[in-house]
Amino acid sequence: MTTSLGAASAAATIVKDPKLQIPGSFNGLKSASNSLLLTKRPQGFRAAAAASPGPITFIRAVSTPVKPDTSVEQKRSKVEILKEHSNFIRYPLNEELLTDAPNINEAATQLIKFHGSYQQYDRDARGPKSYSFMLRTKNPCGKVSNKLYLVMDDLADEFGIGTLRLTTRQTFQLHGVLKKDLKTVMSSIIKSMGSTLGACGDLNRNVLAPAAPLYRKDYLFAQKTAEDIAALLTPQSGFYYDMWVDGEKVMSAEPPEVVKARNDNSHGTNFPDSPEPIYGTQFLPRKFKIAVTVPTDNSVDLFTNDIGVVVGGGMGRTHRLESTFPRLAEPLGYVPKEDILYAVKAIVVTQRENGRRDDRKYSRMKYLISSWGIEKFRTVVEQYYGRKFEPCRELPEWEFKSYLGWHEQGDGGLFCGLHVDSGRVKGVMKTTLREIIEKYNLNVRITPNQNIILCDVRQAWKRPITTALAQGGLLQPRFVDPLNVTAMACPALPLCPLAITEAERGIPDLLKRVRAVFEKVGLKYNESVVIRVTGCPNGCARPYMAELGLVGDGPNSYQIWLGGTPGQTSLARVFKDKVKIQDLEKVLEPLFYHWKRKRLSKESFGDFTNRMGNEKLVELVDKWEGIPLGASRYNLKLFADKETYEAMDALARLQDKNAHQLAMEIIRNYVASNGNGKIE
């Protein structure tokens, strides 16, 4: 759901996923001057229904407030049965954590996800599996206090693999925690006013919002809305605190409007006698993702979420199963700002009651909307909401905003956005960040593009901080390759059990190769494309919104997706399957060459590929015989003459680089060594 606010009256937009079919009808929604526009993304049942024999049955939550139809015995997945018998996500995890084994059993592995952790093992290691756990925090809006950052930094060194990872959902991931250390690490996070509750599992995940700490009414309202939604949908049964801090709840007081919205059962949304009034014993059919933003600011990849306040979506799919698919959000309606929590709750309950629980491949809300259609979905949501949605308002064009570099906050202070390749904070960079954050007592924010923002910087601190950052390899955006600025990759190998091939470890070399192709075909250094890489089709780095998406489909092999746009408003499409990583230039060189020569004025690579269409692009790739003679081969913008270029190129090849990369590296090192604090 996305929020749109005016100067005096705040408004929000909710977007939904348009591909779901749900049985039922609804009515309702009151009008008001201060409103929220809800947009949602539906996906899924139409293709799934066509692929499966026999009638489709809808699986409802156990103890649902709506009396279920018991005339037909309904299938349930193994995970649904585990949840039902878990005593609200406690058993058998509580017993498994007490054993001497380095791992936990399959049932506990499913349950620990709700606590914010995944069991993993090093897939590079030979011999017996070396088990460890990845922990993911919950940070609405990406907000991280000074204390929590320093604790996470310490935990990474003492109990992890010495790195912190910034995620695409504005959270930390801490890898390599051993089972025997889980309680120590979890309790340390909780007692530092952090949390991992619900960072994974079948419930609402971290709520996104623009990370920029701007003191503007619209941004402050968006961030408060995100925090309120996160609080509304936080589990209430205490299983998390029972497991990790012996039942001691460490949390701040909730806003009264959140408590009121959670307890309201005017339209049959709640389980009245349950310790989980919204989730019940079964929680949701699958994970659920929400983002909140302001008009024009699509730093949150709004349209990839289940609810965008502008509500719906999802990026996961399965290779060679075309009934699974990514999907963009579509408008659901417009509601008064004071009703936003009730509207979100109604959407969540609609998915809880009607999302599929028999086959987890089709359990996301996008498949429900795809099966029902957006009109039916809206009608059912309105029934739980208690009134009708108003029509969506017009919204201005969306723009991706990175917030890198120095900016005014609006309260006299500054903030500084720092690029972190693939979100991996390690080595000298990690030490430098720790020293700056600790010395100046700074709070930070994590962005949905895996970057970090230093907040509340005084004007007098700007120069010494800039110098320290440069010496630690954290450069101002003008010194970061534009390809790197928008690129993202998931962790993939060696720890992710779902990875088919490389992503994070492979993207540095991939970006160098793309830059080399750019130079070869004559594209300028300041030109760029949005590149995202994942090691499997689950889409954690949101490759299906990239201008160039690489989705692992085999060892050292990728499915190529084309057609996303820089503003993150267009869904990419499959271009080629089974492209070996060593053959990537054979695909990219003709695409970039023809983009440079045939594009319209200011036409992005994604827009160009959409205009040309797959059939024509395939023809261009298949008939490619190399750059025609006479085409420019040298980037003389940086090099004064051909001889200098060739000399630099010869040196660069010794280091497995190209001339431009080596030249930029020399320039960056020079800037850093001279401590130029005036760079902005």
Active site residues: 136, 205, 287, 289, 490, 496, 536, 540
Q: Look at residue 164 and give its three-state secondary structure.
A: strand
Please report, for residues 109, 132, 177, 242, 247, the alpha-carbon distance to residue 180 in angstroms, rounded to integers and kept in the order given.
15, 10, 8, 17, 19
Strands 117-121 and 131-136: antiparallel
Token look-up 């460890």 returns 132
Q: What are phi and psi of 291, to 5 degrees?
A: -135, 150
Determine contact, residues 558/539, Cβ cutoff 8 Å: no
Burial (Cβ within 10 Å: 0-12, 13-18, ≥19) of residue 145: middle
Q: What are phi and psi of 383, to 5 degrees?
A: -65, -45
Nearest Cα residue to 321 out of 546, 535, 59, 574: 574
List the Cα angle 319/322/328 in 5-degree steps.
Answer: 95
E strand or H helix at 562: strand 557-562
Phi, psi of 197 (to 5 degrees): -60, 120
Report in angstroms the alpha-carbon separations of 491 from 94, 175, 286, 544. 28, 10, 21, 17
Helix 584-598 to helix 614-622 angle, to the nearest 10 degrees? 120
Closest to 28 measured CA to CA, from 523, 374, 386 = 386
Residues forming a β-bridge with 336: 35
Question: Contact, 515 vs 483, CB < 8 A?
Answer: yes
